[in-house]
Amino acid sequence: MTGPVVVAEGVRKNFGAAKVLQGIDVVVTQGEVLCIIGPSGSGKSTFLRCINHLEKIDGGRLVVNGGLVGYRQRGDKLYELRDREIVKERQRIGMVFQHFNLFPHKTVLENVIEGPVQVKKESRASATARARTLLERVGLAHRADAYPREMSGGQQQRVAIARALAMDPELMLFDEPTSALDPELVGEVLDVMKDLARSGMTMVVVTHEIGFAREVGSKLIFIDEGRVVESGPPREVLTNPRNARTRAFLSKVL
């Protein structure tokens, strides 16, 4: 089945007087990898955080996995969802953060099984078995008993990916997953992400890795000042940017 996983129509978000998102329109269908690029402060991370309701939108419509984010529509009224309902929606969306945000008081294995055991009420034994498979997949089966601080940034980020995958998400969000890494560690994280994209996972990736966007992305949007300035297949946008602002940005990062 290939249906839309994320549909954004005129999504707006303000932080006080600052209009961070000024009407974002984008559709992500199942199995697609949407890459979002843009200058810092352009609102690309904020848009990503709106998708799993870490930020509440101030206007427009945002439909994820077939449901409105944060609201239930009944007739012509929108009812705000309760915390419990929001939490339920988030279980279907994995998220990977720029600064990994692993739980430092738990081992790698405990990090990965925390969601399945505590949220999905899966048995510890089955969660552990699945977690070991996932750690194998990100190449870290041998570090299961390590604490996050004993690992490199690249390893921590791969654990963070395994932790998100442990919830069996239908959509994965990546918020600048390699921006906090030393250059020589970027590759190992991107490899895991490429592998994930090939397996058919729907992904939204905010990134500065133009190479990754070109190679793996199925769609690319360039956001500037809270608006989608340009969108299309990555190769096209990156080689033949039509908008002057996209050209200016790419000339700086390429």
Spatial contact of 209 and 216, defined as CB atoms under 8 Å apart: no
Nearest CB to another protein, comparing residues 106 and 245: 106
83 counts as binding another protein under rule CB under 8 A = yes
Site for another protein in 30-49 (CB under 8 A): none
Q: Would you list the DSSP string of 204-237? A: EEE-S-HHHHHHH-SEEEEEETTEEEEEE-HHHH
63 counts as binding another protein under rule CB under 8 A = no
Q: How far is the CB of 151 from another protein (least distance, A)?
A: 11
Beta strands in the chain (DSSP E): 4-15, 18-29, 33-37, 59-64, 67-68, 71-74, 77-80, 93-96, 171-175, 202-206, 219-224, 227-232
Q: How far is the CB of 129 from another protein (least distance, A)?
A: 18
52 counts as binding another protein under rule CB under 8 A = yes
| 161 residue type, one letter | I
Q: Running DSSP on this structure, what letter comes out for residue 151?
A: S
54 counts as binding another protein under rule CB under 8 A = yes
Pick the stretch among 27-35, 131-139, 145-153, 185-193 that binds another protein (CB under 8 A).
Answer: 145-153
Distance (Å, whole) CA 186 – CA 213: 14
**183-198 helix and 153-165 helix, angle to the nearest 10 degrees:** 20
164 counts as binding another protein under rule CB under 8 A = yes
Q: Running DSSP on this structure, what letter comes out for residue 82?
A: P
What the block records as the tokens of 92 is 């279907």
122 counts as binding another protein under rule CB under 8 A = no
Pick the stretch among 6-14, 144-152, 202-210, 221-229 that binds another protein (CB under 8 A).
Answer: 144-152
Nearest CB to another protein, comparing residues 22 and 98: 98
144 counts as binding another protein under rule CB under 8 A = no
φ, ψ (nearest 5 deg) of residue 144? -55, -35
Count the site residues for another protein by CB under 8 A.
Answer: 34
Pick the stretch among 10-18, 101-109, 220-228, 233-241 that binds another protein (CB under 8 A).
Answer: 101-109
119 counts as binding another protein under rule CB under 8 A = yes
Pick the stretch among 20-28, 141-149, 180-188, 220-228 that binds another protein (CB under 8 A).
Answer: 141-149
Rounded to 10 degrees, the C-alpha dihedral 52/179/41/51 comes to -10
The residue within the footprint of another protein, chosen from 114, 170, 191, 195 (CB under 8 A), is 114
Cα–Cα separations (whole angstroms), residue 9 to 26, 59, 67, 167, 169: 7, 9, 13, 28, 23
Residues that bind another protein (CB under 8 A): 52, 54, 83-84, 87-88, 90-91, 93-95, 97, 99, 101-107, 114-115, 118-120, 147-150, 160, 163-164, 166-167
